Amino acid sequence: MSRPVGVALVGMGWWGKKILSVLGAAPIDIRVVRAVEPNLETARALCAEKGIPLTAEYADALADPEVEAVVLATPHAVHGAQIEAAVAARKHVFCEKPLALTKAGAEGAVRLCRDAGLVLGMGHERRWEPPIAELLAKTDAGELGRIHQIEANFSHDRFLALDRDNWRLKAEHAPAGGMTTTGIHLLDLSVRLLGPGESVWCVCEHLSSDLPQGDTVAAYIKFRGGGTSYVSASLANPFMSRFAVYGSKGWIDIRDKAHVEAPDGWIVTSAKAGGPITSTEIPPAEPVKDNLVSFARAVRGVEGYPITAEQLVNDIALLEAVFASARSGKIETVA
Protein backbone atom coordinates (compact mmCIF):
# COMPACT_ATOMS: atom_id res chain seq x y z
CA MET A 1 0.00 0.00 0.00
CA SER A 2 1.59 3.29 -1.11
CA ARG A 3 -0.81 5.40 0.98
CA PRO A 4 -4.16 4.96 2.73
CA VAL A 5 -7.30 5.04 0.60
CA GLY A 6 -9.18 8.23 1.45
CA VAL A 7 -12.90 7.60 1.90
CA ALA A 8 -16.00 9.68 2.48
CA LEU A 9 -18.28 8.09 5.06
CA VAL A 10 -21.83 8.81 3.88
CA GLY A 11 -24.47 8.45 6.59
CA MET A 12 -23.57 9.03 10.23
CA GLY A 13 -26.34 7.10 11.92
CA TRP A 14 -25.94 3.97 14.07
CA TRP A 15 -23.88 2.00 11.57
CA GLY A 16 -21.97 4.97 10.16
CA LYS A 17 -20.69 5.67 13.67
CA LYS A 18 -19.71 2.02 14.04
CA ILE A 19 -17.70 2.22 10.80
CA LEU A 20 -15.99 5.42 11.91
CA SER A 21 -15.06 3.77 15.20
CA VAL A 22 -13.45 0.70 13.61
CA LEU A 23 -11.60 2.73 10.99
CA GLY A 24 -10.07 4.80 13.75
CA ALA A 25 -8.26 1.63 14.80
CA ALA A 26 -7.60 0.36 11.26
CA PRO A 27 -4.15 -0.16 9.76
CA ILE A 28 -2.77 2.45 7.39
CA ASP A 29 -4.73 0.98 4.46
CA ILE A 30 -7.79 3.22 4.76
CA ARG A 31 -8.83 6.48 6.46
CA VAL A 32 -11.93 8.67 6.61
CA VAL A 33 -11.20 12.09 5.07
CA ARG A 34 -14.78 13.42 5.00
CA ALA A 35 -18.19 12.61 6.47
CA VAL A 36 -21.63 13.29 5.01
CA GLU A 37 -24.77 13.56 7.12
CA PRO A 38 -27.90 15.59 6.19
CA ASN A 39 -28.77 16.05 9.86
CA LEU A 40 -25.55 17.83 10.79
CA GLU A 41 -26.30 18.16 14.50
CA THR A 42 -26.31 14.38 15.00
CA ALA A 43 -22.68 14.08 13.88
CA ARG A 44 -21.10 17.50 14.40
CA ALA A 45 -19.53 16.84 17.81
CA LEU A 46 -18.19 13.39 16.86
CA CYS A 47 -16.63 14.60 13.60
CA ALA A 48 -15.10 17.62 15.34
CA GLU A 49 -13.58 15.30 17.95
CA LYS A 50 -12.10 13.12 15.18
CA GLY A 51 -10.96 16.10 13.11
CA ILE A 52 -13.05 15.00 10.11
CA PRO A 53 -14.74 17.60 7.85
CA LEU A 54 -18.52 17.19 7.89
CA THR A 55 -20.97 18.25 5.21
CA ALA A 56 -24.68 17.80 4.60
CA GLU A 57 -24.22 17.38 0.85
CA TYR A 58 -23.13 14.16 -0.89
CA ALA A 59 -21.98 16.24 -3.86
CA ASP A 60 -19.33 17.90 -1.66
CA ALA A 61 -17.71 14.52 -1.02
CA LEU A 62 -17.84 13.54 -4.69
CA ALA A 63 -16.10 16.79 -5.64
CA ASP A 64 -13.32 16.37 -3.05
CA PRO A 65 -10.05 15.21 -4.68
CA GLU A 66 -8.95 13.59 -1.38
CA VAL A 67 -11.95 11.25 -1.57
CA GLU A 68 -11.05 8.15 -3.59
CA ALA A 69 -14.01 6.05 -2.47
CA VAL A 70 -17.37 6.42 -0.76
CA VAL A 71 -18.66 4.22 2.04
CA LEU A 72 -22.47 4.24 1.90
CA ALA A 73 -24.17 3.68 5.26
CA THR A 74 -27.45 5.05 3.94
CA PRO A 75 -31.08 3.98 3.47
CA HIS A 76 -31.40 0.96 1.19
CA ALA A 77 -33.60 2.50 -1.49
CA VAL A 78 -31.14 5.32 -2.26
CA HIS A 79 -28.11 3.10 -2.91
CA GLY A 80 -28.68 2.94 -6.66
CA ALA A 81 -28.67 6.69 -7.24
CA GLN A 82 -25.73 7.19 -4.87
CA ILE A 83 -23.66 4.52 -6.62
CA GLU A 84 -24.46 6.03 -10.01
CA ALA A 85 -23.31 9.46 -8.81
CA ALA A 86 -20.13 8.00 -7.28
CA VAL A 87 -19.21 6.21 -10.48
CA ALA A 88 -19.80 9.37 -12.50
CA ALA A 89 -17.33 11.10 -10.16
CA ARG A 90 -14.81 8.23 -10.55
CA LYS A 91 -15.05 7.09 -6.93
CA HIS A 92 -14.82 3.48 -5.79
CA VAL A 93 -17.86 2.28 -3.81
CA PHE A 94 -18.31 0.36 -0.58
CA CYS A 95 -22.03 -0.13 0.06
CA GLU A 96 -23.77 -1.38 3.16
CA LYS A 97 -26.17 -4.24 2.60
CA PRO A 98 -28.38 -4.75 0.75
CA LEU A 99 -26.78 -3.50 -2.46
CA ALA A 100 -30.24 -3.02 -4.01
CA LEU A 101 -33.81 -4.18 -3.51
CA THR A 102 -34.20 -5.68 -6.99
CA LYS A 103 -32.03 -7.89 -9.18
CA ALA A 104 -32.12 -5.22 -11.91
CA GLY A 105 -30.82 -2.66 -9.42
CA ALA A 106 -27.95 -4.95 -8.39
CA GLU A 107 -27.07 -5.67 -12.02
CA GLY A 108 -27.01 -1.95 -12.75
CA ALA A 109 -24.69 -1.17 -9.82
CA VAL A 110 -22.34 -4.01 -10.70
CA ARG A 111 -22.25 -3.03 -14.37
CA LEU A 112 -21.56 0.64 -13.64
CA CYS A 113 -18.60 -0.14 -11.37
CA ARG A 114 -17.21 -2.86 -13.63
CA ASP A 115 -17.37 -0.77 -16.81
CA ALA A 116 -15.67 2.14 -15.03
CA GLY A 117 -12.92 -0.08 -13.61
CA LEU A 118 -13.98 0.73 -10.04
CA VAL A 119 -14.08 -1.60 -7.02
CA LEU A 120 -17.49 -2.38 -5.53
CA GLY A 121 -17.32 -3.57 -1.92
CA MET A 122 -20.22 -4.80 0.23
CA GLY A 123 -20.98 -4.71 3.92
CA HIS A 124 -21.19 -8.49 4.24
CA GLU A 125 -18.75 -8.55 7.14
CA ARG A 126 -19.92 -12.01 8.23
CA ARG A 127 -17.54 -13.43 5.62
CA TRP A 128 -14.63 -11.89 7.57
CA GLU A 129 -15.57 -13.41 10.92
CA PRO A 130 -12.72 -15.87 11.66
CA PRO A 131 -14.91 -18.98 12.16
CA ILE A 132 -16.99 -18.16 9.07
CA ALA A 133 -13.84 -17.59 7.00
CA GLU A 134 -12.50 -20.94 8.19
CA LEU A 135 -15.81 -22.64 7.40
CA LEU A 136 -15.75 -21.23 3.85
CA ALA A 137 -12.16 -22.42 3.37
CA LYS A 138 -13.04 -25.90 4.60
CA THR A 139 -16.06 -26.19 2.32
CA ASP A 140 -14.02 -24.92 -0.64
CA ALA A 141 -11.44 -27.63 0.12
CA GLY A 142 -14.16 -30.30 0.26
CA GLU A 143 -13.62 -31.10 3.93
CA LEU A 144 -17.37 -31.16 4.65
CA GLY A 145 -18.16 -33.09 1.47
CA ARG A 146 -21.33 -32.32 -0.45
CA ILE A 147 -23.21 -29.52 1.31
CA HIS A 148 -26.75 -30.67 1.99
CA GLN A 149 -28.35 -28.02 4.12
CA ILE A 150 -27.86 -24.71 5.92
CA GLU A 151 -29.72 -23.56 9.02
CA ALA A 152 -29.27 -19.95 10.13
CA ASN A 153 -30.80 -17.34 12.40
CA PHE A 154 -29.76 -13.74 13.08
CA SER A 155 -32.08 -11.89 15.47
CA HIS A 156 -32.09 -8.94 17.84
CA ASP A 157 -34.57 -6.60 19.50
CA ARG A 158 -32.76 -3.27 19.02
CA PHE A 159 -35.38 -1.88 16.65
CA LEU A 160 -38.19 -2.11 19.20
CA ALA A 161 -36.89 1.18 20.59
CA LEU A 162 -36.86 2.96 17.21
CA ASP A 163 -39.36 5.65 16.33
CA ARG A 164 -41.88 3.99 14.03
CA ASP A 165 -41.08 6.63 11.37
CA ASN A 166 -37.44 5.48 11.19
CA TRP A 167 -36.39 4.55 7.65
CA ARG A 168 -35.27 1.09 8.78
CA LEU A 169 -38.92 0.23 9.45
CA LYS A 170 -40.35 1.60 6.19
CA ALA A 171 -41.76 -0.63 3.45
CA GLU A 172 -39.71 1.08 0.74
CA HIS A 173 -36.48 0.15 2.54
CA ALA A 174 -37.28 -3.01 4.51
CA PRO A 175 -40.38 -4.77 3.17
CA ALA A 176 -39.96 -8.13 4.97
CA GLY A 177 -39.24 -7.68 8.64
CA GLY A 178 -35.59 -8.27 9.47
CA MET A 179 -34.59 -9.72 6.11
CA THR A 180 -32.77 -6.58 4.89
CA THR A 181 -31.28 -5.95 8.34
CA THR A 182 -29.94 -9.33 9.41
CA GLY A 183 -31.32 -12.05 7.16
CA ILE A 184 -29.48 -10.69 4.11
CA HIS A 185 -26.17 -11.72 5.69
CA LEU A 186 -27.43 -15.30 5.90
CA LEU A 187 -28.74 -15.22 2.33
CA ASP A 188 -25.30 -14.04 1.20
CA LEU A 189 -23.50 -16.87 3.01
CA SER A 190 -26.00 -19.37 1.61
CA VAL A 191 -25.38 -18.12 -1.94
CA ARG A 192 -21.63 -18.21 -1.31
CA LEU A 193 -21.86 -21.90 -0.35
CA LEU A 194 -24.66 -23.21 -2.59
CA GLY A 195 -24.76 -20.83 -5.56
CA PRO A 196 -27.81 -19.23 -7.18
CA GLY A 197 -31.21 -19.77 -5.60
CA GLU A 198 -33.99 -21.54 -7.50
CA SER A 199 -37.09 -20.96 -5.38
CA VAL A 200 -38.12 -19.65 -1.97
CA TRP A 201 -41.03 -19.80 0.43
CA CYS A 202 -41.10 -16.96 2.97
CA VAL A 203 -43.37 -16.20 5.90
CA CYS A 204 -43.29 -12.76 7.54
CA GLU A 205 -45.48 -12.21 10.61
CA HIS A 206 -46.41 -9.75 13.37
CA LEU A 207 -46.18 -11.88 16.51
CA SER A 208 -45.27 -9.71 19.48
CA SER A 209 -44.73 -6.10 18.39
CA ASP A 210 -46.15 -3.23 16.37
CA LEU A 211 -43.16 -3.08 13.99
CA PRO A 212 -44.87 -2.03 10.73
CA GLN A 213 -43.21 -4.55 8.38
CA GLY A 214 -43.40 -7.52 10.74
CA ASP A 215 -41.15 -8.78 13.51
CA THR A 216 -40.50 -12.40 12.52
CA VAL A 217 -39.43 -13.70 9.11
CA ALA A 218 -38.39 -17.12 7.87
CA ALA A 219 -37.41 -18.26 4.39
CA TYR A 220 -36.86 -21.77 3.05
CA ILE A 221 -34.69 -21.74 -0.08
CA LYS A 222 -33.98 -24.38 -2.72
CA PHE A 223 -30.82 -23.88 -4.80
CA ARG A 224 -30.34 -24.59 -8.50
CA GLY A 225 -27.42 -26.90 -7.88
CA GLY A 226 -29.16 -28.77 -5.06
CA GLY A 227 -29.27 -28.17 -1.34
CA THR A 228 -31.48 -26.02 0.85
CA SER A 229 -31.15 -23.20 3.36
CA TYR A 230 -33.47 -22.19 6.17
CA VAL A 231 -32.93 -18.53 7.10
CA SER A 232 -34.81 -16.86 9.94
CA ALA A 233 -34.66 -13.49 11.66
CA SER A 234 -36.60 -11.75 14.40
CA LEU A 235 -36.64 -8.09 15.37
CA ALA A 236 -38.45 -8.83 18.63
CA ASN A 237 -36.37 -11.35 20.57
CA PRO A 238 -33.03 -11.05 22.37
CA PHE A 239 -29.86 -11.33 20.31
CA MET A 240 -29.15 -14.64 18.63
CA SER A 241 -26.86 -15.46 15.72
CA ARG A 242 -26.29 -18.99 14.48
CA PHE A 243 -24.96 -20.35 11.19
CA ALA A 244 -24.83 -24.11 10.68
CA VAL A 245 -23.72 -26.07 7.61
CA TYR A 246 -24.35 -29.79 7.13
CA GLY A 247 -22.39 -31.86 4.61
CA SER A 248 -21.79 -35.49 3.73
CA LYS A 249 -18.43 -35.54 5.55
CA GLY A 250 -19.21 -33.30 8.50
CA TRP A 251 -21.01 -30.30 9.95
CA ILE A 252 -20.12 -27.00 11.62
CA ASP A 253 -22.33 -24.87 13.88
CA ILE A 254 -21.16 -21.28 14.62
CA ARG A 255 -22.78 -19.12 17.30
CA ASP A 256 -21.90 -15.49 17.98
CA LYS A 257 -21.50 -14.53 21.62
CA ALA A 258 -22.52 -10.91 20.88
CA HIS A 259 -23.73 -8.65 18.07
CA VAL A 260 -21.09 -7.64 15.52
CA GLU A 261 -21.43 -4.03 16.74
CA ALA A 262 -19.40 -5.12 19.78
CA PRO A 263 -18.04 -8.60 18.94
CA ASP A 264 -17.20 -10.92 21.83
CA GLY A 265 -16.10 -14.08 20.03
CA TRP A 266 -17.77 -17.24 18.82
CA ILE A 267 -18.58 -20.78 19.93
CA VAL A 268 -17.92 -23.36 17.20
CA THR A 269 -19.30 -26.89 17.49
CA SER A 270 -18.44 -29.41 14.78
CA ALA A 271 -18.05 -33.04 13.85
CA LYS A 272 -16.57 -35.04 11.00
CA ALA A 273 -17.78 -38.43 9.82
CA GLY A 274 -16.65 -41.09 12.30
CA GLY A 275 -15.29 -38.53 14.77
CA PRO A 276 -16.45 -36.91 18.01
CA ILE A 277 -18.43 -33.70 18.43
CA THR A 278 -16.08 -30.93 19.55
CA SER A 279 -16.66 -27.38 20.78
CA THR A 280 -14.18 -24.49 20.61
CA GLU A 281 -14.31 -20.83 21.65
CA ILE A 282 -12.89 -18.29 19.19
CA PRO A 283 -11.69 -14.92 20.56
CA PRO A 284 -13.15 -11.59 19.41
CA ALA A 285 -12.19 -10.00 16.09
CA GLU A 286 -13.39 -6.96 14.14
CA PRO A 287 -14.83 -8.20 10.82
CA VAL A 288 -16.35 -4.80 9.93
CA LYS A 289 -12.84 -3.33 9.89
CA ASP A 290 -11.34 -6.32 8.10
CA ASN A 291 -13.89 -6.09 5.28
CA LEU A 292 -13.13 -2.39 4.75
CA VAL A 293 -9.38 -3.04 4.79
CA SER A 294 -9.87 -5.75 2.17
CA PHE A 295 -11.83 -3.25 0.06
CA ALA A 296 -9.02 -0.69 0.37
CA ARG A 297 -6.43 -3.24 -0.67
CA ALA A 298 -8.54 -4.10 -3.71
CA VAL A 299 -8.69 -0.39 -4.60
CA ARG A 300 -4.88 -0.30 -4.47
CA GLY A 301 -4.61 -3.51 -6.48
CA VAL A 302 -2.86 -5.35 -3.66
CA GLU A 303 -5.44 -8.15 -3.63
CA GLY A 304 -8.74 -9.03 -5.25
CA TYR A 305 -11.98 -8.32 -3.43
CA PRO A 306 -13.48 -11.71 -2.53
CA ILE A 307 -17.20 -11.00 -3.04
CA THR A 308 -17.76 -11.49 -6.77
CA ALA A 309 -20.10 -9.54 -9.02
CA GLU A 310 -22.03 -12.75 -9.72
CA GLN A 311 -22.56 -13.35 -6.01
CA LEU A 312 -23.72 -9.76 -5.48
CA VAL A 313 -26.39 -10.15 -8.17
CA ASN A 314 -27.42 -13.63 -6.99
CA ASP A 315 -27.83 -12.31 -3.43
CA ILE A 316 -30.30 -9.64 -4.54
CA ALA A 317 -32.13 -11.91 -6.97
CA LEU A 318 -32.80 -14.18 -3.99
CA LEU A 319 -33.73 -11.24 -1.75
CA GLU A 320 -36.23 -9.99 -4.35
CA ALA A 321 -37.84 -13.45 -4.47
CA VAL A 322 -38.04 -13.44 -0.66
CA PHE A 323 -39.96 -10.16 -0.82
CA ALA A 324 -42.31 -11.61 -3.43
CA SER A 325 -42.98 -14.72 -1.37
CA ALA A 326 -43.57 -12.70 1.81
CA ARG A 327 -46.26 -10.77 -0.10
CA SER A 328 -47.88 -13.74 -1.83
CA GLY A 329 -47.48 -16.43 0.81
CA LYS A 330 -46.50 -18.79 -2.01
CA ILE A 331 -43.33 -20.40 -3.32
CA GLU A 332 -41.69 -17.93 -5.69
CA THR A 333 -39.08 -18.55 -8.38
CA VAL A 334 -35.76 -16.73 -8.13
CA ALA A 335 -35.15 -14.67 -11.27
176-206 pLDDT, tens digit each: 999 999 999 999 999 999 999 999 999 999 9
Helix (H) or strand (E) holding 88: helix 79-88
Report if pTM > 0.85: yes
How confident is the model over 10-33, as a mean pLDDT? 91
Q: How far apart are CA 194 and CA 63, in angstroms?
A: 41
Report DSSP state, residue 143: T
Q: Residue 229's CB: how many other CB atoms inside 10 A? A: 25
Whole-angstrom CA distances from 175 to 37, 144, 268 are 24, 35, 32
Taking domain 126-291+314-333, whether its CATH number is 3.40.50.2300 is answered by no
Residue 1 pLDDT greater than 60, yes or no: no
How confident is the model over 32-39, as a mean pLDDT? 96
CATH number among 3.40.190.80, 3.40.50.720, 3.30.430.20, 3.40.190.10, domain 5-123: 3.40.50.720
Residue-wise pLDDT for 123-174, tens only, equals: 999 999 999 999 999 999 999 999 999 999 999 999 999 999 999 999 999 9
Q: How far apart are CA 230 and CA 178, in angstroms?
A: 14
Residue-wise pLDDT for 87-109, tens only, equals: 999 999 999 999 999 999 999 99
25 — pLDDT class (breaks 50, 70, 90): confident
Q: How far apart are CA 40 and CA 43, in angstroms?
A: 6
Predicted confidence at residue 27, as pLDDT, reads: 76
Say if strands 240-247 and 228-234 run parallel, antiparallel, or are unpaired: unpaired
How confident is the model over 233-254, as a mean pLDDT? 97
How confident is the model over 30-52, as a mean pLDDT? 95
Predicted confidence at residue 26, as pLDDT, reads: 73
- List Cβ<8 Å contacts ≥24 apart for 11-16: 11/36, 11/37, 11/72, 11/73, 11/74, 11/75, 11/96, 12/36, 12/37, 12/42, 12/43, 12/46, 12/47, 12/54, 12/73, 13/37, 13/42, 13/73, 15/73, 15/96, 16/43, 16/73
Average pLDDT value over all residues in the chain: 96
The dihedrals phi and psi of 89, each to the nearest 5 degrees, come to -90, 5
- All CATH 3.30.360.10 domain ranges of the chain, comma separated, are 126-291+314-333
- All CATH 3.40.50.720 domain ranges of the chain, comma separated, are 5-123
